[in-house]
A = this chain, B = another copy of it.
Amino acid sequence: MSRVWNFSAGPAALPEEVLRQAADEMLDWQGSGMGVMEMSHRGKEFTSIAVQAEADLRELLAVPADYRILFMQGGAIAANAIIPMNLIGGKRVADYVVTGAWSQKSQKEARKYAEVNIAATSEASDFTTVPPMADWKLSADPAYLFTCTNETISGVEYPFEPDLARIGRGEVPVVADMSSHILSRVIDVSKYGLIFGGAQKNIGPAGLTIVIVREDLLGRAMPHCPAAFDFRIVAENASMYNTPPTYGIYIAGLVFQWIKRQGGVAALEARNVAKAKLLYGFLDGSGFYENRVDPACRSRMNVPFFLKDESLNDAFLAESKAAGLTQLKGHKSVGGMRASIYNAMPLAGVQALVDFMRDFAARKA
């Protein structure tokens, strides 16, 4: 077996330790005589797995006691509908900050359920920056303000937490799609009304959605909201109103334990800063490659880059793959290349990429 350096934007590389443990336990979890996939979600074995996963996530993100953690399904695309269905309540308008393809998609879907006010957008810059909070134009009484704090496709990450108290609107709950950078940096959960993310980038397998929601936002669902996606019902049933994606929760739990062994989120953040510094530093100094994102808003997780001579793209992809560096092709809407360097990508993987890129440039320049 030879593992590659996998730069997929998601589903993405997982820590080898996690995969080894999952393989070892596939037919027999801790002497139970069953694999995790085969367990009743209501049995004591799986209940202990789910309870531990939730407790570990709560510890890792220092989630306050008045927030509920929900394990759901559908990913961020389903959440784009589920969130307005749950949070519009008696209000008319929801505010959206649009910083890339994901928040753009979110606001479009929300229009099925509410009037949408675009509080700010960086579309004019081709989604290469995040508009400063001082320029956000909130509506008078929005149900919530939606943000996507890391845009996977354009590689833009908020360099600040969207704490609306700083612009005198602390009463408006902030919703944040953190799919592609949750657990990669220290955050203050208390600044948000709701945080969500598909697991398939920084946590675990596709098919699991993590929702962290302040309790006072429960119980506002529209009559048309499916019961399985009503946050209040999911919370009251400890994420077991419908059968949850049990294996995904188990893998996520193993990832949470792995993060704790690494020293927690702060330790991973330091590692992520070092990885990003190495890669962006190389790109900027290369003369051969470039990243086009506002340096203040560059994502530590998703690094899109271009060869200045794009006629070399195919050669770059073929040769990098041959060197064991895979899934580097950029998103079709952006072009070029993209290296996603989530928590599970070690510095050694980024170093291998930089070494290859330096060599490729030297050979082709």
Counting CB contacts under 8 A, is A248 at the interface?
yes
Q: Which residues of A1-31 are within 8 A (CB) of B?
A: 1-4, 6, 8-14, 16, 19-20, 22-24, 26-28
How would residues 107 to 151 of chain A score, 1 for a CB under 8 Å from any chain B CB and 0 otherwise?
001001100000000000000000000000000000000000000
Stretch at the interface among A35-43, A287-295, A348-356: A35-43
B224 touches A10 (CB 8 A): no
Q: CA A77 – CA B226 in complex, angstroms?
A: 9
B207 touches A73 (CB 8 A): yes
B41 touches A19 (CB 8 A): no
Counting CB contacts under 8 A, is A155 at the interface?
no
- Copies of this chain in its oligomeric complex: 2
Min Cβ gap A179→B in Å is 10
Which chain B residues lie closer than 8 Å to A6 at the CB level? 33-34, 38
When the two chains form the complex, which single residue of B223, B226, B246 contacts A206, counting CB atoms closer than 8 Å? B246
When the two chains form the complex, which single residue of B8, B40, B81, B241 contacts A77, counting CB atoms closer than 8 Å? B241
> Residues of A at under 8 Å CB distance from B?
1-4, 6, 8-14, 16, 19-20, 22-24, 26-28, 32-35, 37-41, 43, 73-78, 80-82, 85, 109, 112-113, 198, 200, 204-208, 223-224, 226-229, 241-248, 251, 324, 326-327
Which chain B residues lie closer than 8 Å to A8 at the CB level? 38-40, 43
Other than the given A1-B28, A205-B245, 17 more pairs (CB < 8 A) read: A2-B28, A3-B34, A8-B39, A11-B37, A11-B39, A11-B40, A11-B243, A11-B246, A19-B27, A22-B26, A43-B327, A81-B226, A109-B226, A112-B226, A206-B246, A207-B247, A247-B247
Which chain B residues lie closer than 8 Å to A248 at the CB level? 207, 245, 247
Min Cβ gap A53→B in Å is 15
Which chain B residues lie closer than 8 Å to A206 at the CB level? 37, 41, 243-247
Which chain B residues lie closer than 8 Å to A75 at the CB level? 73, 228, 242-243
5 closest Cβ contacts across the A-B interface?
A207-B245, A81-B226, A4-B33, A77-B242, A23-B26
When the two chains form the complex, which single residue of B14, B24, B227 contacts A81, counting CB atoms closer than 8 Å? B227
Which chain B residues lie closer than 8 Å to A224 at the CB level? 112-113, 224
Question: A interface, by DSSP: helix, strand, loop or mixed?
Answer: loop
Q: CA A85 – CA B37 in complex, angstroms?
A: 30
A40 touches B10 (CB 8 A): yes
Which chain B residues lie closer than 8 Å to A38 at the CB level? 6, 8, 11-14
Which chain B residues lie closer than 8 Å to A78 at the CB level? 73, 226, 228-229, 242
In the complex formed, the residue of B with least CB distance to A37 is B205
Q: CA A22 – CA B251 in complex, angstroms?
A: 14
Which chain B residues lie closer than 8 Å to A324 at the CB level? 33
Which chain B residues lie closer than 8 Å to A12 at the CB level? 38
Which chain B residues lie closer than 8 Å to A26 at the CB level? 19-20, 22-23, 26
In the complex formed, the residue of B with least CB distance to A43 is B327
Given contacts A19-B27, A77-B228, A77-B242, contact A35 B14 (CB under 8 A): yes
B77 touches A74 (CB 8 A): no
Which chain B residues lie closer than 8 Å to A245 at the CB level? 73, 205-207, 245, 248
Q: CA A76 – CA B64 in complex, angstroms?
A: 33
Min Cβ gap A202→B in Å is 13
Min Cβ gap A10→B in Å is 7
Which chain B residues lie closer than 8 Å to A16 at the CB level? 27
In the complex formed, the residue of B with least CB distance to A247 is B205
Q: CA A6 – CA B208 in complex, angstroms?
A: 25
